[in-house]
Chain A
């Protein structure tokens, strides 16, 4: 009798512990492979590691060094230019397409499918396609010349100051469909009654969009910009394929800088320091966002 009771008791204990046991491996994996590894990278960034890891602690020296490297400055400046234009371009195009698609278009489904398919592609594929289209010898330049404008030049891809804009072109092409999907979802969530009332009051359609609809999409704008910023900071594959960071290192981004220092030039500590800088950039954007999102949910 007593043992039966005890086994029931034990079963109850197991029953309450079971959920914890089930998620425990994931929890451990998260703590080790995400947070532990971040600390590990932080540690590497404060050592003298070059080709091989070394455990001589040098504090923040590598960070000061990093910010004196010209190539890092180029990468950061490129990120600002690329990120800014990428976010601006995607948002503008995405919003524009969403508004136009929201006018009771008959072939909306087909159009949406077309606008969104680039998102299913790897950046490597996108890069390959645009590398071909933008190449000065046989790409757009030749096309326009054959059309009769024989002095036309379009060699951004191999020009130091312009290469980063090629990355912008390809990235906007790939990602604006995503923004469109976000805005379209937002537009579908707006109450028709408000708009009808404005129409009854005699407001014109562009005015309704400017004064009522677009302002009410503010939360969507907010999340979109955050996600795009996050994509921009992590951008890696597209640059590697399209320009290989070149000419020289003219179109480097922090992600390609990090790869190059950590994996090809064998400067582990510097690679780790640049990775940490990327991490801080992302966190500076994401943490306030997640905080406000979670709070909004709680009070909603």
Chain B
């Protein structure tokens, strides 16, 4: 934004300093990931001999295989793989359902306002912020009554319900910017509620679908609280399994397996971030500046 650097010589000391500082911080953010990666391919002997940033001398995939396939987590010895699939099976329906309902809600709250719809929206907005601790006990009881306690569909249900506030918010704020005249013109031409949604709104909604799907995927994949409260044993998501792996009080601490497990648990969201970072950041800042 400021022209000072440009107009002078390309690389004066001040510029060098700026680049230096920025690169040091890049290192600071990258280092934990690098340390994790390096640790995950070392043997335990090498870990005991070396230090955090010593390069692995004889890289091995063994910790990865163990973390994935046969590490002890809870009462099973089958690694993290089953929990990883649990998370995928949970994330896909929860994201799709909450996004679709959010889209329709957002459409109504922006283009078909009725008496009370603004109040509804304000209440929903407040709902985005509640600390989930305040609903845990009643939800545990309700899931029990519905026969969904500790089941995989119970988690899908919970994530869908509490994702709705955010997805509705995203779509509502996106559709508010669409000119009302478009909708009015379509109504005069005889198009109804769903026709306008399908023919006018949906075709222009690709960016907000991307933002919402990515936001929801990251949120639900990374969730720990619901997972730890509403699932046990075999139905647990990968984050809970990772915590169990890391915090087991077994005799020998295998840091290399822990790190491999952590990277496996992080891969899907990291992948999404590096492929569609633009939408991720947009969701982040949109989630922050609400209203």
Contacts and interface: CB of A to CB of B under 8 A. Distances in A.
B148 interface: no
Among the interface residues B2, B117, B127, which one has the most CB atoms of the partner chain A within 10 A?
Answer: B2
**Size class of the A contact interface (CB-based, 8 Å):** 35 or more
A115 interface: yes
B52 A143 contact: yes
A271 B259 contact: no
Interface in A103-132: 103-105, 111, 113-132
Contacts of B48: 138
B51 A116 contact: no
Contacts of A119: 273, 280, 284
A76 interface: no
Interface in B159-217: 161-162, 164-165, 168, 192-193
Interface string B87-128: 000000000000001001100110010100100101111110
Nearest to A268: B137
Grouping DSSP codes into helix (H, G, I), strand (E, B) and loop, the A interface class, with mixed when no group exceeds half, is helix
Given A18-B193, A19-B108, A103-B5, A97 B52 contact: no
A133 B35 CA distance: 8
Interface string A126-147: 1111111100001110110010
B131 A26 contact: no
Contacts of B61: none
B133 A258 contact: yes
Interface in A264-300: 268, 271-272, 274-276, 278-279, 281-283, 286-287, 290, 293-294, 296-297
A237 interface: yes
Contacts of A44: 137-138
A177 interface: yes
B280 A120 contact: yes
Given A15-B192, A143-B52, A290-B126, A275 B131 contact: yes
Interface stretch (A28-36, A55-63, A65-73, A82-90): A28-36
A92 interface: no
A61 B35 CA distance: 50
Contact of B239 (A102, A103, A122, A296): A122
Contact of A241 (B5, B161, B168, B243): B243
A218 to B, nearest CB: 14
A149 interface: no
A205 interface: yes
Interface string A228-239: 001001101100
Contact of B246 (A116, A131, A139): A131
A149 to B, nearest CB: 13
Contact of B131 (A138, A139, A181, A255): A255
A283 B130 CA distance: 8
B55 interface: no
A95 interface: no
B235 interface: no
A173 B28 CA distance: 8
Interface string A31-47: 00111111011001000
Contacts of B104: 22-23
Nearest to A53: B141
Given A115-B29, A133-B32, A19 B112 contact: yes
Nearest to A42: B134
A187 interface: yes
Contact of B21 (A100, A117, A146, A293): A100
Given A100-B22, A294-B122, A125 B5 contact: no
A113 B120 CA distance: 37
Contact of A293 (B47, B105, B281, B290): B290
B29 A234 contact: no
A210 B139 CA distance: 49
Given A100-B22, A120-B273, A129-B32, A20 B114 contact: yes
Contact of B130 (A130, A263, A282): A282
Interface string B1-36: 111111000000001001101100110111011011
A162 interface: no
B221 interface: yes
B75 interface: no
A273 to B, nearest CB: 11
A227 interface: yes
A277 to B, nearest CB: 10
A120 B218 contact: yes
A128 B39 CA distance: 12
Contact of B125 (A19, A192, A290): A290
A118 B269 contact: no
5 contacts: A35-B127, A114-B29, A122-B266, A190-B1, A290-B290
Interface of B: 1-6, 15, 18-19, 21-22, 25-26, 28-30, 32-33, 35-36, 39, 47-48, 51-53, 101, 104-105, 108-109, 112, 114, 117, 120, 122-127, 129-139, 141, 161-162, 164-165, 168, 192-193, 218, 221-225, 228-229, 239, 242-243, 246-247, 255, 258-259, 261-263, 265-266, 269-270, 272-274, 277, 280-281, 284-285, 288-291
Given A44-B138, A181-B285, 9 more contacts: A19-B117, A26-B168, A113-B277, A114-B30, A116-B273, A241-B243, A259-B229, A282-B129, A293-B291
Closest 4 CB pairs of A and B: A122-B222, A19-B112, A120-B273, A237-B224
